[in-house]
Structure 1
Amino acid sequence: MQSSKPPGRSWVSRLDRYLVGHVSGLPGGNHDAFFRRLSASANQGKLWMGTAAVLALFPGKTRRAAVHGLIAQGVASAVTNVVFKTLLPRTRPLPEHLPVFRFVHPQPTSSSMPSGHSASAVAFAVGAGLVRPALGVALAPAALGVAYSRVHTGAHWPSDVIFGSILGAGAALVTRHWWPVRPPIPPTTRAVTSAPALPGGEGLSIVVNTLGGSFKEETAAALQEIFPKAHINIAQLDEELVQRINATADHPGTLALGVWGGDGTVGAAAAVAVERSIPLLVLPGGTLNHFARDAGTGSLKEAVAAAEKGDAALADVGVVTVERGLAGNPEVSRLIMLNTSSVGLYPNLVRRREYLQPALGKPLAGVVAMFRTFAAGTPTTLSVDGVRHKVWIAYLGRGRYYPRDHAPLIRPVMDDGVLDVRLITADESFARLRLLWSVLTGTVASSRITHLREATEVRIDAGGAPMALAVDGEALAGVRKVAYEVRPKALAYYSPRP
């Protein structure tokens, strides 16, 4: 008995010809020119690269979505064209299958299976959508249009397009692990406490550090105008800052201590405020003002409003015990840490990231800064809580910072009682290549070179060789050992109610 099926044709081939026959029967019109142009615009991924360039103009998630889309597209294109087109040779549709006015000319000469245009289109749309779903929805019609255009113009069979689309979606999902979607940042919370209201600055004594990055001759006069009843003390260049802060806090009638300066100045003032059990008002005025930002007083207007109303909260502080000098006769000092401390290359990373952030946005600036910092840097050998490591970065934050990767930026909770400990190590073979690859693929947080944990106490020993330590942006040289601990809710600070 003879089979009715044409010899050598599978059900996929028969379905392809059936679907192409229906496309061939569609009436001609302006849509033919539209699909030809749409298909041509996606050659070599030009359509998606142009789209990514436009999206990159918008910082934040939109820019991150564009980067993820391009990474997914690149992977999909490579797998499709280099691997599957070699493994699955197939003849493309012939001119007799479609009207001549619709048929693409010249027709591609590579294997028809799978469709590289479809793989790239779906990879870019899905990759961008994994980061920003609304953007993925907006890109979906263009991606589907490109995929369909390959059948409409006779460049591919429908099964080529379906398989290519599956490869594109798979590439986007795989690269999600390379460039993972960051978990949401928890809402800002405050441990509210009572503090004296300071109308017009009454009861407020402010120390101003003239070394602050934005200090000008009129700074003190401007603060006096804002706080007409406050006592304002200027720390001159040749004076000991801590002595000036103590003298400011000793002023008769002082109910609260104000500080104008960068993170190092704020940390010194916080130590005095904690010792005297008086609230601290942080005024943004230095080169870096991380505590002011996290406290909600990133602008002078916010700081004034909190002081006028007596709105305040409690924050944990870190106590840093530093050992310098000879091992047999060490010099021991203690510092208050409000924000972060680090050993290794982290200060260089932060400086580069802060410089690049206005132009590139936070995530991309962090990636570029990591590449530049670690391409030429060298690791430091340390013992961390008794475990010996070669370390690129030993980072400790006073409180949980977000995102949970190599570029922490935001601290929504000021009284969580923990130290945020992050080590990026060079213990593994090919350490520098591992590090740069994890930065490129966005997998620093999940890489074997990264160790993330939380603690209430941490001890770091340089093993006799002095290390460079930074505490709240202030560099300390010749440090042999350092110990950290948390003092819960030790500092009262003025902060607007969330």
Structure 2
Amino acid sequence: MSDSSATQPVDTVRDRVTTRLSAWDREVFHRVATRHWPGGDAVLPRLSHAANHGLLWFGTAAGIAVLGRGARSRRAAVRGVASLALASAAINTIGKRSVRRARPVRDAVPMVRQLKKQPFTTSFPSGHSASAAAFATGVFLESRGWGAAVAPVAAAVALSRVYTGVHYPGDVLAGAALGVGAAFAVRGIVPTRSQLPAPGRPHADAPALPGGADLVVVANRGSGSADQAALVRDALPRAEVLECEPEDAGQAMEKAAASGRCRALGVLGGDGTVNRAAAVAARYGLPLAVFPGGTLNHFAYDLGIESVHDTCRALAEGDAVRVDLGRFTPGPDGAAHGYFVNTFSLGVYPELVRLRERWSPRIGGWPAGVLAAWKVLRGEHPLEAEVHGRHRPMWLLFAGNCVYRRMGPTPGRRHDLADGLLDVRVVHGGRLPGLRLLAAALAGPLSKSPVHAAEKLRKVRVSGIAPGTSLAFDGEVTQAPRELLVDKDDEALTVYRPRTGP
């Protein structure tokens, strides 16, 4: 049998399938076009127009970020937009050029449904459907609640493209499939929190405190967590919640821990407040319950705690882990040691924090941060100090409590809060500190660079520090001594954390 006779049946089958799919596509399109949908004429064309250039989804992402509480909502918004961007790029560069399909004939579509401005690109696949599916899927992969809220709107946008007569159903299905694929491709590049290994090890025994029995929670009013304090009271009716001014929070923690009336210490506030609570809890051997109530909440989020309910779930079950504490000796205000749960730094960052805190009450946090960075980076006087006996000028010496890893292309979080290591980064002195710091940020974990060095160490000894030099730890700023040792207190703290992810 010749090759042509062998391929003829295959071609015939393929042609029949294509013909049937095309006939089905046109039949469904005709049914949608001729059927009256209650309320559709008023809603669907407007919704289709609103989705032009992704404007509907950008607005939705802004709403999710503003109205949603916590980092999960913000991540869902960012992931949705990133998925949409990838889907749009794939549609415009490959999809529209691969199949040159003409738009449907709109004779059967009532004029009231038709768009005032008709699209001029080819019909296959539907870009609106791809963007809608990509955004909704991206949001759902990070937050099921927001994903469920967005999904009906995305489905309505996809339906509107057939309803207004600009796409066949097959175009919409293909676009939606491409959009879903784009969202999963983004997840492959930047994993969701649920995909990452649970931070903190090993598992530690801690008392189960259902309803917050025998728990004292110190809430920092200065962190703006009044609403969260009420939420803690509602969720843990048996807990004692003490709302304090920032200057009184440390003393309240000491009194609660020393009184013997609590089996665990709770803290509601930002990373600076958590720092004080961690030092007290470690000193008295109490497990710590962290409720995210600050602006950034790095420590809580790296534990996998994103809401009050996450901590309540861990308290009810007695689920906890042991984590490291970073330590610097001597500590502030004459203390033997100072501790940090996130970061320690010398150089430009402490000065930036000091200026930001001075200006933020007058102009707000973000503007104050921008102006402080501009002022600090105009300077030409790097920190002069000896690191392990070697003298060097530095713009920044950074030590992280445990190793910070990337989430995709950006530095993100710590996967292990008990690895016994310091993540040490140095930005060397020289001209143009702003460019050097930017280069260091882009370099990420690279260990060798003309401007940046990164090492994983157990301890760092710094000496020859000039009088008046500031150091920062977990956002707090104090005066640095002439010399100090930065090291780790391994698995010094027990922290409640739900065994399963959020």
TM range (shorter): 0.5 to 0.7
Structure 2 counterpart of 1:305: 313
1:141 paired with 2:149, answer: no
Structure 2 counterpart of 1:435: 436
2:233 to 224, 227, 235: 224
Q: Is the 8 A contact 2:332 2:478 kept in 1?
A: no
Q: Distance in 1 between matches of 2:90 and 2:355?
A: 35
1:206 paired with 2:217, answer: yes
What runs of 5+ residues in structure 1 fail to find an aligned partner?
1-50, 67-127, 146-180, 326-330, 354-367
Quick one: structure 1 residues 462 and 54, their matched pair in 2 at CA, closer, same or farther if it must change by over 3 Å? farther
Q: Is the 8 A contact 1:466 1:477 kept in 2?
A: yes
Q: Is the 8 A contact 1:338 1:472 kept in 2?
A: yes
Q: Of the two, which has the highest radius of gyration?
A: 1
- Structure 2 letter corresponding to 1:318: G
Structure 2 counterpart of 1:38: none
Superimposed CA distance per residue, residues 244-290 of structure 1 (whole angstroms, 9 cap, x where no aligned partner): 21211234442111111221221111112112222100111234422
Equivalences for residues 115-130 of structure 1 within 5 A: none
1:416 paired with 2:416, answer: no
Structure 2 counterpart of 1:484: 486
Q: Distance in 2 between matches of 1:307 and 1:423?
A: 39
Structure 2 counterpart of 1:215: 225
Structure 1 counterpart of 2:429: 426
Q: Distance in 2 between matches of 1:53 and 1:448?
A: 42
Shift of 1:312: 0.8
Q: Is the 8 A contact 2:225 2:268 kept in 1?
A: no
Structure 2 counterpart of 1:453: 455
Q: Is the 8 A contact 1:349 1:369 kept in 2?
A: no
What is the DSSP-based 3-state SS (H/G/I as helix, E as strand, rest coil) of the residue aligned with 2:197? Answer: coil
What is the DSSP-based 3-state SS (H/G/I as helix, E as strand, rest coil) of the residue aligned with 2:450? Answer: coil
Q: Distance in 1 between matches of 2:352 and 2:247?
A: 31
Quick one: structure 1 residues 346 and 255, their matched pair in 2 at CA, closer, same or farther if it must change by over 3 Å? same
Equivalences for residues 173-192 of structure 1 within 5 A: 187-191=197-201, 192=203
Q: Distance in 1 between matches of 2:410 and 2:232?
A: 34
Q: Distance in 2 between matches of 1:481 and 1:341?
A: 14
1:195 paired with 2:198, answer: no
- Structure 2 letter corresponding to 1:435: R
Shift of 1:52: 12
Q: TM-score, normalised by structure 1?
A: 0.55
Q: Is the 8 A contact 2:464 2:483 kept in 1?
A: yes
1:293 paired with 2:294, answer: no
Q: Is the 8 A contact 1:323 1:480 kept in 2?
A: no
Q: Distance in 1 between matches of 2:241 and 2:230?
A: 9
Shift of 1:335: 1.6
Q: Distance in 2 between matches of 1:206 and 1:465?
A: 38
Q: Distance in 2 between matches of 1:313 and 1:376?
A: 43
Q: TM-score, normalised by structure 2?
A: 0.55
Shift of 1:453: 0.5
Q: Distance in 2 between matches of 1:54 and 1:477?
A: 50
Quick one: structure 1 residues 286 and 231, their matched pair in 2 at CA, closer, same or farther if it must change by over 3 Å? same
Q: Is the 8 A contact 2:235 2:309 kept in 1?
A: no
Structure 1 counterpart of 2:135: none
- Structure 2 letter corresponding to 1:466: G
Superimposed CA distance per residue, residues 73-122 of structure 1 (whole angstroms, 9 cap, x where no aligned partner): xxxxxxxxxxxxxxxxxxxxxxxxxxxxxxxxxxxxxxxxxxxxxxxxxx
2:477 to 475, 478, 494: 475
User: Where do 4+ consecutive residues of structure 1 move more than 6 Å?
Assistant: 51-59, 61-66, 142-145, 181-185, 348-353, 368-371, 404-407
Shift of 1:341: 1.0
Residues 53-62 or 270-279, more deviating? 53-62
1:340 paired with 2:343, answer: yes
Q: Is the 8 A contact 2:228 2:293 kept in 1?
A: no
Q: Is the 8 A contact 1:345 1:377 kept in 2?
A: no
Shift of 1:477: 2.4
- Structure 2 letter corresponding to 1:337: F
Q: Distance in 1 between matches of 2:470 and 2:408?
A: 23
Shift of 1:292: 1.3
What runs of 5+ residues in structure 2 fail to find an aligned partner?
1-52, 62-76, 99-187, 357-369
Superimposed CA distance per residue, residues 104-147 of structure 1 (whole angstroms, 9 cap, x where no aligned partner): xxxxxxxxxxxxxxxxxxxxxxxx9xxx7x777555427989xx
Q: Distance in 2 between matches of 1:183 and 1:371?
A: 28
What is the DSSP-based 3-state SS (H/G/I as helix, E as strand, rest coil) of the residue aligned with 1:403? Answer: strand
- Structure 2 letter corresponding to 1:228: P
Q: Distance in 1 between matches of 2:460 and 2:408?
A: 19
Shift of 1:242: 2.9
Q: Distance in 2 between matches of 1:425 and 1:142?
A: 47
What is the DSSP-based 3-state SS (H/G/I as helix, E as strand, rest coil) of the residue aligned with 1:250? Answer: helix
Structure 2 counterpart of 1:376: 378
Number of residue pairs aligned between Structure 1 and Structure 2? 325
Residues 416-425 or 341-350, more deviating? 341-350
